[in-house]
A and B are shown apart, each in its own frame.
Chain A
């Protein structure tokens, strides 16, 4: 592993403290790079620090760093041989046609100016990665938009590592999107309005009376904004953030975008078409760092478990809703939330017990919540809290970090 020495700078704070100016910016950046390498080099790797770095201002800064840190965030061992298949996947896969159609059309995901030949080579790799992951994980189902996620990893870490990372991601963060149906995805979208309601009830009511629904945020959620943001730097910055956080963070970020556009929404005609149209056209010049820190704050103030009831109420028709979410959380708390596990929990827990668990859980956050609520841009504190909750679901290494 490429390692640079950076022992002088202590990893005491991930926050940019005061001051301004170019030189200052560079100094901070340099300091952050040093801190990241220090976290990478410590034995065992300081994954909690890496998470804080991925969330705090600027994220992981460069693709070179991402190549090293993303595997840590996903607990993927880069020394393991990448998964391969001896089968002719293109012949066998039921999804091949759909994947092919989507990848062929995904030209906008590649850097402008990339030679055609190189882009086509990458598109072939993209198809291979997707088919391989689907073959190895028959419980996962391809969805349009999955390719937008995979291409981001491909462009940053290359084919081999992308396969390992996306496979892990697909069985964790993205798993609900890859169910046989989109019911769970829809359920996650149902968190959007309750979050907005907590912060800005007027905006919430306006959107409800417009009957705008939540489909405008669907592509944001299931592609981690990869489908809608044209500047790749913004996409990877968000991926840093989401990789370090709870799987529901993208829906908090979606809510933050809507809240940020409050005035535009309220100025809009109160009908489905107008509001949907406005919101689905995502502005490209969003203040990402501010929004990221706000999403972190919201997550701490209104953790998913507190919103679960309202989200479920949004979906009265959906009989699986409440239990689905609980499963999601339970599964997330486990190291390998695979289907077997999910079924086991489904069998073990009766509904009342689930509810009780949901109700008691937020208390563990109370201290952090109180600390954060008074802060305006509570990046450091919020980041820390988000990291903690991320660790509740994160794979394996959490145990050694928080003894």
Chain B
């Protein structure tokens, strides 16, 4: 079976046209793959994990979000340098009791981890240590990119976590720091750039799951791809 090679221009977006041509021409060279990029979002209760993921995947700030129970899933297809990548975002419950036995399943094969804290709530920041332990406990490899997101920046007068403190923490743990607001429409680009930045890094760096666009009996093959490309990206970061 012909396998696409990363970074050599063989990959094509899974457009309707692409699929149609597949039907006409069964040549396996035309194999269309969409890479899947899996991100897990973790952090204390009520720091805004759900809103952030909504903002990224849906574009808007939901005015009524509720406590997340267990794990929610959202996805968005983004295009980076002409390649379509499916970004899967796993939004998790913040309450401690859900972490232990419930969420572990969703740490498997993650490509990146987003840690979220609330800039107006110091405990959500100090608890990050525990979240990092939690993450390590689930055997997330050290090379998996991690970013730190301070949310609710629009509440300027209530800020408890100074940027320099957060930056120090991020540096110490080899993470990029973003301060943003899922609520503020002006910040929506910033929210997007968090996930896009991760997507870019991953596109450039790691093996991603490939989704075979040619579906056979509704089944989709998953292929692990070796790291191959280290193409220069035109990413914002």
In the bound complex, residues from chain A placing their C-beta under 8 Å from that of B70 are 215-216, 218-219
Q: Are A266 and B102 in touch, CB under 8 angstroms?
A: no
| A84 located at the interface, meaning its Cβ lies under 8 Å from any Cβ of chain B in the complex | no
Interface segment out of the listed B3-11, B185-193, B216-224 = B216-224
In the bound complex, residues from chain A placing their C-beta under 8 Å from that of B139 are none
Query: What is the bound-complex CA distance between A216 and B102, given in angstroms?
Result: 11
Partner of A144, one of B67, B215, B220: B67
| B93 located at the interface, meaning its Cβ lies under 8 Å from any Cβ of chain A in the complex | yes
Given known pairs A105-B66, A186-B102, A270-B219, the reply for A277 and B97 (CB within 8 Å) is no
Q: Are B46 and A183 in touch, CB under 8 angstroms?
A: no
In the bound complex, residues from chain A placing their C-beta under 8 Å from that of B71 are 215, 276
In the bound complex, residues from chain B placing their C-beta under 8 Å from that of A147 are 67
In the bound complex, residues from chain A placing their C-beta under 8 Å from that of B215 are 269
Q: Are A276 and B73 in touch, CB under 8 angstroms?
A: yes
In the bound complex, residues from chain B placing their C-beta under 8 Å from that of A268 are 218
Q: Are B102 and A218 in touch, CB under 8 angstroms?
A: yes
In the bound complex, residues from chain A placing their C-beta under 8 Å from that of B68 are 144
Q: Are B69 and A273 in touch, CB under 8 angstroms?
A: no
Query: What is the bound-complex CA distance between A201 and B67, given in angstroms?
Result: 34
Q: Are B93 and A144 in touch, CB under 8 angstroms?
A: yes
Partner of B95, one of A143, A223, A277: A143
B55-80 vs A, CB cutoff 8 Å, 1 = contact: the mask equals: 00000000011111111110100000
Given known pairs A266-B218, A277-B73, the reply for A181 and B67 (CB within 8 Å) is no
Q: Which of A180, A271, A280 has the most CB of B within 10 A?
A: A271
Restricting to A239-276, which residues have a CB under 8 Å from any CB of B? 266-271, 273, 276
Partner of B66, one of A182, A185, A227: A227
Partner of B69, one of A101, A181, A219: A219
Please report whether the interface of chain B is mostly helix, strand, loop or mixed according to DSSP: mixed
| B100 located at the interface, meaning its Cβ lies under 8 Å from any Cβ of chain A in the complex | yes
Restricting to B124-140, which residues have a CB under 8 Å from any CB of A? none
Query: What is the bound-complex CA distance between A216 and B95, given in angstroms?
Result: 17
In the bound complex, residues from chain B placing their C-beta under 8 Å from that of A218 are 69-70, 102
| A13 located at the interface, meaning its Cβ lies under 8 Å from any Cβ of chain B in the complex | no
Q: Are A182 and B97 in touch, CB under 8 angstroms?
A: yes
In the bound complex, residues from chain A placing their C-beta under 8 Å from that of B105 are 213, 215
| B45 located at the interface, meaning its Cβ lies under 8 Å from any Cβ of chain A in the complex | yes
In the bound complex, residues from chain A placing their C-beta under 8 Å from that of B106 are 215
Restricting to A76-111, which residues have a CB under 8 Å from any CB of B? 98, 101-102, 105-108
Q: Are A215 and B95 in touch, CB under 8 angstroms?
A: no
Q: Are A181 and B72 in touch, CB under 8 angstroms?
A: no
| B211 located at the interface, meaning its Cβ lies under 8 Å from any Cβ of chain A in the complex | yes
A120-151 vs B, CB cutoff 8 Å, 1 = contact: the mask equals: 00000000000000000000010111010000
B82-105 vs A, CB cutoff 8 Å, 1 = contact: the mask equals: 000000100001110110111101
Q: Are B69 and A182 in touch, CB under 8 angstroms?
A: no
Given known pairs A181-B101, A269-B215, the reply for A280 and B67 (CB within 8 Å) is no
Query: What is the bound-complex CA distance between A215 and B91, given in angstroms?
Result: 12
Q: Are B98 and A273 in touch, CB under 8 angstroms?
A: no
Q: Which of B65, B100, B105 has the most CB of A within 10 A?
A: B105
Query: What is the bound-complex CA distance between A101 and B17, given in angstroms?
Result: 48
| A222 located at the interface, meaning its Cβ lies under 8 Å from any Cβ of chain B in the complex | yes
Q: Are B218 and A269 in touch, CB under 8 angstroms?
A: yes
Q: Nearest A residue to B219 by beta-carbon distance?
A: A270
A110 vs chain B, min Cβ distance (A): 11
B46 vs chain A, min Cβ distance (A): 4
Partner of B220, one of A107, A143, A271: A271
In the bound complex, residues from chain A placing their C-beta under 8 Å from that of B38 are 273
In the bound complex, residues from chain A placing their C-beta under 8 Å from that of B218 are 266-270
Q: Which of A98, A213, A215 has the most CB of B within 10 A?
A: A215
Partner of A182, one of B46, B64, B75, B98: B98
Q: Nearest B residue to A107 by beta-carbon distance?
A: B64
In the bound complex, residues from chain A placing their C-beta under 8 Å from that of B88 are 273
Restricting to A184-232, which residues have a CB under 8 Å from any CB of B? 185-186, 213, 215-216, 218-219, 222-223, 227
In the bound complex, residues from chain B placing their C-beta under 8 Å from that of A276 are 71, 73
Query: What is the bound-complex CA distance between A180 and B97, given in angstroms?
Result: 8
In the bound complex, residues from chain A placing their C-beta under 8 Å from that of B64 are 105, 107-108
Given known pairs A181-B100, A186-B102, A267-B218, the reply for A280 and B45 (CB within 8 Å) is no
Q: Are B45 and A215 in touch, CB under 8 angstroms?
A: no
Q: Are B67 and A105 in touch, CB under 8 angstroms?
A: yes
Q: Nearest A residue to B46 by beta-carbon distance?
A: A101
In the bound complex, residues from chain B placing their C-beta under 8 Å from that of A277 are 73, 75
Query: What is the bound-complex CA distance between A181 and B174, given in angstroms?
Result: 32
B213 vs chain A, min Cβ distance (A): 10
Q: Are A223 and B69 in touch, CB under 8 angstroms?
A: yes
Q: Are B45 and A186 in touch, CB under 8 angstroms?
A: no
Q: Which 10 A-B residue pairings sit nearest by Cβ, starting from the closest?
A: A219-B69, A218-B70, A269-B220, A144-B67, A101-B46, A215-B70, A102-B67, A144-B95, A145-B69, A213-B105
**Which residues of chain A have a CB within 8 Å of any CB of chain B?**
98, 101-102, 105-108, 141, 143-145, 147, 180-183, 185-186, 213, 215-216, 218-219, 222-223, 227, 266-271, 273, 276-277, 280
Given contacts A269-B218, A273-B75, A277-B75, 15 further A-B contacts (CB under 8 A): A108-B64, A108-B66, A144-B67, A144-B69, A144-B98, A181-B100, A182-B97, A182-B101, A219-B70, A268-B218, A270-B218, A270-B220, A271-B220, A273-B88, A277-B73
Can you list 21 A-B pairs, Cβ within 8 angstroms, ordered by A? A98-B45, A102-B45, A105-B66, A106-B66, A106-B67, A143-B95, A144-B67, A144-B69, A144-B93, A145-B67, A182-B97, A215-B70, A215-B71, A215-B102, A215-B106, A219-B69, A227-B66, A266-B218, A267-B218, A269-B220, A273-B88
